[in-house]
Amino acid sequence: MHNKSTSHTGAAGAGLSELQAETEARRIIADAYRDTAPVAQPGRPPMSQGATDASVLLLAGGATTVMVGGTAGVLMYVSQFADPIVCSLVFGAPSFLVLALARLARRAKPAPDIHHHYAGPVHQDRRTVHSRTSGVWAKTHNQP
């Protein structure tokens, strides 16, 4: 608890000599230094975000394939008369459905708006150039 009769008449360290203040400042600055060099962490090596996303997608796809194939194998073994073609159709159909929906969703994204901002006069050249290249030694004739 604070005693109400105690008054604070200066900043902490105000009673230090110049040499003591300089030493204290060096100590604080030395303690505050932070090395920003990257250090490899245990686990996966550092990668870009795109590479990380692709890696996770490939791992998930591989795990899904193993689960679907294992289920189909167990089903064929247990039933003793399961047709491999029917099993591939039954277990493969959801994969094709997911791939088709993913492709449809990717195409459904609207095209981004492109805005160009220019500072100063702009000249747009809208001429069409028709060219014809002929001969053993190629010679191009451009005609506006």
- In single-letter form, the type of residue at position 105 comes to A
Decide: residue 87, CB within 10 A, 0-12 exposed, 13-18 middle, 19+ buried: middle
For 82-94, write each residue's pLDDT tens digit.
777 877 777 778 8
Q: Any idea what the Cα angle at residue 72 is, between residues 71 and 73, rounded to 5°? A: 90
pLDDT of 43 over the 60 cut: yes
* pLDDT at site 32: 66
For 107-130, write each residue's pLDDT tens digit.
777 777 888 888 888 888 888 877
Q: How far, CA to CA in Å, does 137 sit from each of 72, 76, 133, 134, 140?
A: 63, 67, 9, 8, 10
DSSP, collapsed to helix, strand or coil, labels residue 130 as strand
